[in-house]
Chain A
């Protein structure tokens, strides 16, 4: 009797213990499975099951760390710092949830969109690449090993290049867009790995917690500092941090619609997480060079991005491209939140990562629906579609309002907290008052570019020859799930906020939060 109880408890715990690795393994194994089975009919269901499983796992992980602390997992039982360690705390649990939730919700939409935009013979490989990209993004976030971040970064990047290039069936320029991204992405990854090399040189370890410990011990020296520079520039490319963003508008514009949805909501967010992890946990803002990087480089670049990218977005004539530029601007808000170096600022950044993720996913899905029905995303092609596709357009309106940050939508909350964070620092430095003003002013530009699209959709006469009808249900449901989320998180942000604040706190604890020796707060 007693024995069975123990065994039962043991297996249960084992399963729970394996969650961090399963998060990555499930989609990772699905990718080759899809290729090996080679069945067009099975590819999508497999991908969907894997995504849904990943979502369940990420929710369970989030549940585990909701009160703080972390879940650690040692790969193959090799103890860190020699072995690879996966470690989930509030910050990465949050990003894992975002990625897997977006991945799951978008897949039904992708089914229709991919069928329409991509040749049937490429479908199985397409889903395999999708799974690999998904794996890579989840892996970058879940891992507690710096070199492992690089490995997953490459997995996600290489598969992303393929995914973007798939847009060539519709527009050949997708090939140059993918090529550009390949070059830039590779340069970024190279910078990143050079940075890691320097860190390894200085510390002899690659485990994040261990790195944090040793860097704190030895303090700033030239190797450690150059390592930081390389890592930030390398990741900055993946983040599309202004002025390293040039690949993004092209890649987002020419990639297949479903791919754009997925990437816009997840890829930059995973990279931003890595930037946060490195700046706050491995290095920490106590170092003057980290502090200076944030205040002298991040903040001005973020503000320039907020204005210049929004300004460029105003003049776009293609809905998809407009949204891509808006993404560059929104990344600016997130980086600005990080550069404020306060808990509120970081909370705002994390919240905006989430809110912008769901908002942009919704908007890009809307664009994809228009592309499906009218063959393109140019304003001339989508004119008047608001009347022909009212359900799609209703969701697009909600997304647009959230992008502007109208109260009652998710986008409003993160902007509020961002402005609040800037104003909180205003008493000691009047510069921050100007930053707060800059945030609200730049969101006025969002009003202009969003409203321009609204006018095209609703106030222009539709092409009399257009046969556009409402998008299919399998597209509408994911869109309205996102639209519902945009509204829901515009009202009831309580739990999300608390979790983001928890994550921000964990990150700001810096290397203290990462130290192995303390081991406090572990789930077991």
Chain B
């Protein structure tokens, strides 16, 4: 046992260290682009491998935290493994490999500048994602949460244009502002109230607080976790779309936003405890706000002509599913939310990579310009179609399961209106995603649009094709995933 324990921790540290080694490699080999990019790919593979080692060692059990540093008495930088975090780490590191391949193709195909700086910041972001995934207390999580914000800022400002700088400012202002003003207050308050910040099954607040403090504290967390893009703190996500597409794909569809909802779930499950939330009904308001966010963001998405902006609003809407799952305060809801992390990641990264492929090949950003483009880029648009279906939640695609579980959760708690909200949202998803594919394939191409097969470079169209297949595969493994995640909702010592 002791041997296993050590091995697991080493693997966790390795998973955090490999991206940093890749970052150093990017700085050293800044001028040798092939060496640099292959080296990063190698490190990405090793990172994923390390997380797999953790998986094979631990499975879906929850390990005891191991402290790396004692920061000050009572507060440690410490890590442990539990299914939710392990799933998040697998998604983050696994998709990094694909995104890196895609990113190399994109950055070269698009003649972007400052490749080394770009990939170096990317690596720090991935390292902090791993840190967030394996954090065993709120302090550690907050530490990596902020490093993630700061390290992604240069990526958003990457182009250096006035637009990019403005977007990056909004990005930083909202994410740092909410996390310092609200989340930090909530974290320290939790610490003062309970004397601990460890993620504990069943929560740590039960019996320590009561009355008005519970919903207020939950509010500080819910709004303070700005990365979850809960309205009205969602504006940073459309603003971040000025970043190059690989950033939008991995970070703003997967890593950063998922770090937000992941934190939300962690707080709900391990700080408050689902039963405590259900008893106090403190999350009732959050459920309605999330429902509002789901509908409102979908409606806004319908009116966006810029493809990436539309996808961003779609993400805001989908993220609120996960917040909703936590706010339902039932095990089905939480499981649904947790599964949505995986399913939405796979679906949305596909969509973003397709958007990037279109931009690399034809420099088109607006949906209205993409009419008839499907004949030239059949693979890209087919992948986009599959990704869309997964986001909408139709079988046989992975995205259908979390919606199903969320509906079960809503039915369990008697919130029938929420079921209506989820259905309406699916319809809205259909309305803003499928026309993009329809226009590309069926509408006549205007003058000047190529009609012969002319796909984006291989490195750019292959990764979205793989993730699209992933969306289908996940449908059949959903049962296994649900079983894997079950320990997070079973309250046991």
Number of interface residues of A (CB under 8 A): 31
B279 at the interface (CB under 8 A from A): no
Q: Which residues of A contact B169 (CB under 8 A)?
A: 451
**Contact status B180-A494, CB under 8 Å:** no
* B184: contacting residue among A401, A417, A419, A426, CB under 8 A: A419
CB contact under 8 A between A497 and B73, given known A408-B143, A420-B192: yes
**Contact status B146-A498, CB under 8 Å:** no
**Contact status B181-A406, CB under 8 Å:** no
Q: How distant is A63 from chain B, measured CB to nearest CB, in Å?
A: 21
Within B166-201, which residues are at the interface with A (CB < 8 Å)?
169, 172-173, 176-177, 180-181, 184-185, 188-189, 191-192
> CB-nearest residue of chain B relative to A454?
B153
CB contact under 8 A between A492 and B69, given known A419-B184, A440-B185, A459-B157: yes
B492 at the interface (CB under 8 A from A): no
Q: How distant is B301 from chain A, measured CB to nearest CB, in Å?
A: 30
**Contact status B177-A491, CB under 8 Å:** no
Q: Which residues of A contact B143 (CB under 8 A)?
A: 407-408
Q: Which residues of B contact A404 (CB under 8 A)?
A: 176
Q: Which residues of A contact B146 (CB under 8 A)?
A: 406-408
* A423: contacting residue among B70, B72, B189, CB under 8 A: B189
**Contact status A491-B185, CB under 8 Å:** no
A463 at the interface (CB under 8 A from B): no
Q: Which residues of B contact A497 (CB under 8 A)?
A: 72-73
**Contact status B73-A443, CB under 8 Å:** no
> CB-nearest residue of chain B relative to A446?
B180
B142 at the interface (CB under 8 A from A): yes
What is the bound-complex CA distance between A441 and B176, given in angstroms? 11
CB contact under 8 A between A491 and B77, given known A405-B180, A408-B143: yes
Q: How distant is A387 from chain B, measured CB to nearest CB, in Å?
A: 10
**Contact status A455-B165, CB under 8 Å:** yes
Within A411-437, which residues are at the interface with B (CB < 8 Å)?
413, 416-417, 419-420, 423-424, 426, 436-437
> CB-nearest residue of chain A relative to B184?
A440
What is the bound-complex CA distance between A458 and B158, given in angstroms? 11
Q: Which residues of B contact A417 (CB under 8 A)?
A: 72
CB contact under 8 A between A491 and B191, given known A407-B142, A408-B147, A447-B176: no
**Contact status A420-B71, CB under 8 Å:** no
Contact residues of B: prevailing secondary structure: helix
Q: Which residues of A contact B180 (CB under 8 A)?
A: 405, 440, 443-444, 447
B150 at the interface (CB under 8 A from A): yes
Chain B, 137-161, contact with A by CB distance < 8 Å: what is the 0/1 string?
0000011011100100010010010
**Contact status A493-B176, CB under 8 Å:** no
Q: Give the interface size class of chain B.
A: 20 to 34
Q: Which residues of B contact A405 (CB under 8 A)?
A: 180
> CB-nearest residue of chain B relative to A443?
B180
Q: Which residues of B contact A444 (CB under 8 A)?
A: 176-177, 180-181
**Contact status A447-B189, CB under 8 Å:** no
Q: Which residues of B contact A416 (CB under 8 A)?
A: 184, 188
Q: Which residues of A contact B69 (CB under 8 A)?
A: 491-492
Q: Which residues of B contact A424 (CB under 8 A)?
A: 192
What is the bound-complex CA distance between A405 and B181, given in angstroms? 12
Q: Which residues of A contact B181 (CB under 8 A)?
A: 437, 440-441, 444
Q: Which residues of B contact A491 (CB under 8 A)?
A: 69, 71, 77
What is the bound-complex CA distance between A401 and B143, given in angstroms? 13
CB contact under 8 A between A493 and B185, given known A401-B150, A459-B157: no
Chain A, 469-509, contact with B by CB distance < 8 Å: what is the 0/1 string?
00000000000000000000001111001100000000000
Q: Which residues of A contact B145 (CB under 8 A)?
A: 407
> CB-nearest residue of chain B relative to A423?
B192
Q: How distant is A391 from chain B, measured CB to nearest CB, in Å?
A: 12
> CB-nearest residue of chain B relative to A418?
B188
**Contact status A494-B172, CB under 8 Å:** no
Chain A, 213-226, contact with B by CB distance < 8 Å: what is the 0/1 string?
00000000000000
Q: How distant is A359 from chain B, measured CB to nearest CB, in Å?
A: 16
Q: How distant is A439 from chain B, measured CB to nearest CB, in Å?
A: 9
Q: Which residues of B contact A413 (CB under 8 A)?
A: 71-72
**Contact status A498-B73, CB under 8 Å:** yes
**Contact status A437-B147, CB under 8 Å:** no
What is the bound-complex CA distance between A371 and B184, given in angstroms? 36
Q: Which residues of A contact B71 (CB under 8 A)?
A: 413, 491-494
Chain A, 390-403, contact with B by CB distance < 8 Å: what is the 0/1 string?
00000000000100
What is the bound-complex CA distance between A492 and B73, given in angstroms? 11
Most chain A beta carbons < 10 A, residue from B70, B71, B73: B71
**Contact status A494-B184, CB under 8 Å:** no
Q: Which residues of A contact B173 (CB under 8 A)?
A: 447
Chain A, 223-243, contact with B by CB distance < 8 Å: what is the 0/1 string?
000000000000000000000
What is the bound-complex CA distance between A419 and B70, given in angstroms? 19
**Contact status A420-B177, CB under 8 Å:** no
Q: How distant is B205 from chain A, measured CB to nearest CB, in Å?
A: 15
What is the bound-complex CA distance between A419 and B182, given in angstroms? 12
Q: Which residues of A contact B172 (CB under 8 A)?
A: 447, 451
What is the bound-complex CA distance between A37 and B267, given in angstroms? 67
* B177: contacting residue among A447, A458, A493, CB under 8 A: A447
Q: How distant is A314 from chain B, measured CB to nearest CB, in Å?
A: 13
What is the bound-complex CA distance between A155 and B157, given in angstroms? 50
Most chain A beta carbons < 10 A, residue from B143, B150, B169, B184: B184
> CB-nearest residue of chain B relative to A416?
B188
Q: Which residues of A contact B73 (CB under 8 A)?
A: 494, 497-498
Q: How distant is B462 from chain A, measured CB to nearest CB, in Å?
A: 34
Q: Which residues of A contact B189 (CB under 8 A)?
A: 423, 436
**Contact status B188-A423, CB under 8 Å:** yes
Most chain A beta carbons < 10 A, residue from B72, B77, B143: B72
Between A and B, 24 residue pairs with Cβ closer than 8 Å are A404-B176, A406-B147, A407-B143, A407-B146, A416-B188, A419-B184, A419-B185, A423-B188, A423-B189, A424-B192, A426-B192, A436-B185, A436-B188, A437-B181, A440-B180, A444-B181, A447-B172, A455-B165, A491-B69, A491-B71, A492-B69, A492-B70, A494-B71, A497-B73
Interface residues of chain A, those whose CB is within 8 Å of chain B, are 401, 404-408, 413, 416-417, 419-420, 423-424, 426, 436-437, 440-441, 443-444, 447, 451, 455, 458-459, 491-494, 497-498
* Given A413-B71, A493-B72, A494-B70, 9 other A-B residues pairs in contact with their CB atoms under 8 A: A419-B184, A419-B185, A420-B188, A420-B191, A420-B192, A441-B181, A444-B177, A444-B181, A498-B73
